[in-house]
Amino acid sequence: MPADPTALVRHGNPLHLYELESIEQAHAGVRAAIPAPSVLHYSFKVNSHPELVRTLRRAGCRAEASSTGDLDAALGVGFSGTDTEITHPLAQGKTLRGIRD
């Protein structure tokens, strides 16, 4: 189903509309273009909307988290600690305990 052009009028702006099927197709295209056993990670700092990242998780993406907020968002939609790459150079303490616990 195409994005609803009346959504901006109903919800105001800024408004981001996503077609999850298109995101799944884009993921599949990228996945097919890179050699195995490469792993795709989605960066939560870009957009952590739950439905978007659930869609990517179901498609086989892993998570990239650069803050405790990113980590909380990843764990909140079902990523496990082993599915999550912590990229903040100073990640320690609370951030790493969040993955372990």
Confidence of residue 81 (pLDDT cuts 50, 70, 90): confident
Over pLDDT 90: what percentage of the chain? Answer: 39
Peptide bond into 37 cis (omega under 30): yes
Asked if the model's pLDDT at residue 67 lies above 90, the reply is no
Answer whether the bond into residue 14 is a cis peptide, omega within 30°.
yes
Higher-confidence residue: 78 or 91? 78
Q: Are strands 41-43 and 84-86 parallel, antiparallel or unpaired?
A: unpaired
Average pLDDT over residues 8-23: 81
Cα 21 to Cα 3, 5, 24, 41, 75, distances in angstroms: 11, 18, 5, 18, 23
pLDDT band at 92 (very low <50, low <70, confident <90, very high): low
3: confidence class by pLDDT, cuts 50, 70, 90 = low
The per-residue pLDDT for 15 is 74
- pTM of the entire structure? 0.74
User: How far is Cα 91 from Cα 65, in angstroms, rounded to an integer?
Assistant: 10
Q: What's the pLDDT band for 22 if we cut at 50, 70, 90?
A: very high
